[in-house]
Amino acid sequence: MIENLIQYFQNYVQLTEEEIDYIKQSIPVKEVPKNEVILRQGDVSKEFFFTIKGCVRLYYIVNGEEKTAFFYCENEFVSSYESFTKQLPAKHSFECIENSDLAVINFETAYKLLEKFPKFEFLARTMMEQELIVCQEIIANLITLSPEQRYLKLRDQQPDLLQRIPQYHLATFLGVRPESLSRIRKRLIK
């Protein structure tokens, strides 16, 4: 299980036996059931995650409504960077929307890794670069596309998500309510 994470790291740098051992003993893998919230908006993030199996949803709660910003599937880091790095209350929540296996990297482990093995400074930067690119992609999508165009793009580029994720979550991800997504789909059938 944790091998996925090690493999992921090895895509960027060669790890020594010592480093691999350290990862294996300091980063546990947790089974998280569907619908469990792993970070609640307003709480301080004490850990971040790497998805080995399953799917995590990032969402904001606004006036009692949930608005989805992103879905993280296999082999992605799930982290509330601001909350984690500055130990401030998180502005969003994370919820597993499938039964998931997550590697859990807590605050102490993260900083010990950075301290003990300077190589992780590079990995941390690379992770963050990836995340930044994802964020910029989300922004570009929100700014340049209509909800209908966002749906078409998602259908093109990640058709698996359309199968995997209930429509009411997809709707808020596309920036509309479920009724509107239903209408968009109807419009497109013609």
* Residues engaged in binding DNA (CB under 7 A): 146-148, 166-168, 175-186
Are residues 42 and 83 in contact, defined by beta-carbon separation less than 8 angstroms?
A: no
SS percent in the chain: helix, strand, coil, step 5: 50, 25, 25
Supply the angle between the helices 147-157 and 119-144 in degrees, to the nearest 10. 130
111 binding partner (options a copy of itself, DNA, none; Cβ < 5 to 8 Å by kind): none
Among 129, 153, 162, 183, binds a copy of itself (CB under 8 A): 129
DSSP letter assigned to residue 63? T
Cα first-last separation, the chain: 45
**Binding track, positions 9-28, relative to a copy of itself; x by CB under 8 A:** --------------------
The span from the CA of 186 to the CA of 175, in Å, is 17
Name residues contacting a copy of itself, limited to 43-72 (CB under 8 A).
60, 62, 67, 69
Binding site for a copy of itself (CB under 8 A): 60, 62, 67, 69, 81-82, 85, 91-92, 118, 121-122, 124-125, 128-129, 131-133, 135-136, 138-140, 142-144, 175
